[in-house]
Amino acid sequence: MAHGPDTELKKGLKQRHLTMIAIGGVIGAGLFVGSGVVINDVGPAAFLTYAATGVLIVMVMRMLGEMATANPSTGSFADYARRALGGWAGFSVGWLYWYFWVIVVGFEAVAGAKILTRWVDAPLWLLALGLMVLMTATNLFSVKSYGEFEYWFAGIKVFAIVVFLVLGGLYVFGLWPGRDADFSNLTAHGGFLPHGAAAIFSGVVVVIFSMVGAEIATIAAAESSDPERAISKATNSVVVRIAIFFVGSVFLLAVILPWNSQELGASPYVSAFEQMGIPGAADIMNAVVLTAVLSCLNSGLYTASRMLFVLAARREAPVRLITVNRRGVPIWAILLSTVVGFLCVIAAYVSPDTVFLFLLNSSGAIILFVYLMIAISQFLLRRRTPKAELKVRMWGFPVLTLLTIAAIVAVLVSMGVDAASRSQLLLSLLAFAVVLALYFLFGRRRQEIPPEPSAAERAAGQAPHRVLIVANETIGAEDLLSEVRRFAAGTDAEFFVAVPANPVDTGQAEQLGAVYVWEATQRAAQQRLDATLALLRGEGLRADGALGDYRPLVAMDEAVQRFSPDGIVISTHPAGRSAWLRQDLVAQATEKYDVPVGTSSRAPQRMWATAERGRSTSRRRRARPAGHVRAADRAADLRPAIGDVRGRAGHPPSRSYRRRQHADGCCRRSACSTGQPPAVPEWPALSDPPALPRGRR
């Protein structure tokens, strides 16, 4: 049967990639170009605006680091919002963040094309499309190619800033040839705060958007070999990165050039280099800015595709988007994100003042909504997380968390008060409302369990002799056996188990990035198949099985062709959690195959967990003196290796439950009434079960 594509661990991101992504993630064209505008608006104290904004970003990253190390997840902040506030929060944060980055991709392509027109005589739209094609090809090739491109792009940005800091420091402190130390520009031309102290905080609205991107490292870490270490390093180093690259460089700009200089607003770093007498500064810095734009475009496409992958893994986007090629690349997620980017480029050419401007404004405040959700999620999840799991802790909790929330709200209010940014806030709120409406219209849709055949319908036909079992992520062992006996009671039936190797159904898509997910899915699906076969064989039933295609219907079709069943049991989650039931899998199977179709979906227990409990119970039993049997053990022995039938590990069934079991005659082991425990069937040697997402254990 067909399976998901294979991937190799060696193709993931290396630590050097993640380090440079984390360092360069906050350095974009906004620093190289936009810092001059901030200095013009605030004055020499603009570096304090960057410092205040940096504190806000550091707080958010610290909170994100705390949650990411305590609860590693491919969905990062979208998953944390879902756990803290509910499904609507995870759905909206994920889709809004994706929307933000696909718009950024289109915008950066246009910005890069404008820079290229300095050297290349070609239409702007053609150059923008060329950059989009280049970055799309980079992301489609492999995860490693993205990492390598970003490594060198970020390296060029960091190198340019470091060179400026060194040369600017020599110039400012009087170590430059023919230059004495001079800090007069900090107080000349109207003073240190020519527009008043309030200008420091009003500038935060502009500056915060130039620091967006620090959180990308927490998403990229899912495709590294050691996500926890990568996230911890990224969040801990953000303080130094912001202090040096932003605050340090803007301070030097304010010292080298007068704050009211017209050259600052056009290109501050070019003006500073020309002031120092460095030749060719314009071409050098334009090349650096182009690199920063391409880096942002590259990272934006990567981030958007991985967030789409995460949404598909949570069944909040089409499941097909989780498919990856043999290099571990989610091609459909990348292509869908690219399509939106291409549409933005076309809109910039066809309707730059209406459609394109609307798209830009509608994503303007979205990143603030995301940061606000991160802060609220940390505030709620911190109280639910054991102290032993808090490897990275938010400083001064809960005071600093609450102050961060208040600061983000204050920035949003400032956007609403300022006429220049009010439209961005209102259109971003509109985008938020649309996403919420989509969630409540489609995301919460549930369907009833299709009715099972009545007793009369079952009696009218012959009891099945060949039963196909299609197994999902979790089912109750007792429920599965009960359904199997209803289908094949009193017959010498044969069973075939098909387990779709699906990253969503096995739970692996919630834990691993795209580059690793299919390999882990194969292992988890094989474990589930082994456990199910062991359960059936332990009951004395003839059973065989195989892994199936990642698409449940395709896996069922292939199994039907191979096994030719006369009965089908679909083993899945309860109705409220089962994607198979929501997709009418049972109804489709009933309509397509002329055989009885039943479901087992009542008690949500893990097969591998019950197997482990069966082995541990067997070991404890062998350690006791001969003849020593507790009542709880006798009750557990009614179903050896099935585990606790009431769904709570370590809690024995009640006496009334045991009486009902004997009264119904469903205990076929005579040994359970003699006071001697029956032999526990040996389970196949299974590797450790896959780690489950916290909160679902």
pLDDT band for position 431 (50/70/90)? very high
The answer to whether the peptide bond before residue 398 is cis (omega within 30 degrees of 0) is: yes
Domain with CATH 3.40.50.620 in the chain: 464-697
pTM to 2 decimals?
0.71
15-442: what CATH class?
Answer: mainly alpha
- Quick one: average pLDDT of 489-508? 77
H or E segment to which residue 250 belongs: helix 249-256
pLDDT band for position 95 (50/70/90)? very high
Query: Distance between CA atoms of 490 and 492, rounded to whole angstroms?
Result: 7
- Quick one: average pLDDT of 414-429? 88
Lowest mean pLDDT among 31-45, 131-145, 174-188, 636-650: 636-650
- The pLDDT assigned to 575 comes to 62
The one-character DSSP state at 193 is -
Structure tokens at 644: 């606790």
- Quick one: average pLDDT of 281-301? 86
Closest of 290, 339, 367, 334 to residue 146, by C-alpha: 334
- The pLDDT assigned to 679 comes to 37
CB 537 within 8 A of CB 543: yes
pLDDT(91) > 50: yes
Residue 468 phi, psi (nearest 5): -95, 130
Lowest mean pLDDT among 12-26, 164-178, 611-625: 611-625
Please write the tens of the pLDDT for every residue from 64-82.
Answer: 888 888 877 766 788 899 8
Please write the tens of the pLDDT for every residue from 550-591.
Answer: 888 888 889 888 888 888 888 777 666 666 776 777 778 888
CB 50 within 8 A of CB 207: yes
Determine the length of the chain. Answer: 697
pLDDT band for position 462 (50/70/90)? low
Three-state DSSP state, 465: coil
pLDDT band for position 489 (50/70/90)? low
Residue with the larger pLDDT of the pair 69 and 619: 69
Q: What is the CA radius of gyration of the chain?
A: 30
Lowest mean pLDDT among 110-114, 244-248, 671-675: 671-675
Query: Distance between CA atoms of 64 and 220, rounded to whole angstroms?
Result: 14
- Quick one: average pLDDT of 35-60? 90
Query: Distance between CA atoms of 112 and 116, rounded to whole angstroms?
Result: 6
Fold of the CATH domain 464-697: Rossmann fold (3.40.50)
Q: Residues 6 or more apart from 394 whose CB is under 8 A from it?
A: 59, 62, 63, 66, 378, 382, 400, 401
Catalogue the E-assigned strands of 292-431: none
Residue 495 phi, psi (nearest 5): -120, 145
Please write the tens of the pLDDT for every residue from 298-324.
Answer: 888 888 988 888 888 887 888 888 888
- The pLDDT assigned to 401 comes to 96
Domain with CATH 1.20.1740.10 in the chain: 15-442
- The pLDDT assigned to 365 comes to 87
- The pLDDT assigned to 444 comes to 54
Mean pLDDT of the chain: 76
Residue with the larger pLDDT of the pair 166 and 489: 166
pLDDT(293) > 50: yes
Please write the tens of the pLDDT for every residue from 99-123.
Answer: 999 998 888 888 888 889 888 888 9
Please write the tens of the pLDDT for every residue from 441-457.
Answer: 875 543 333 444 433 34
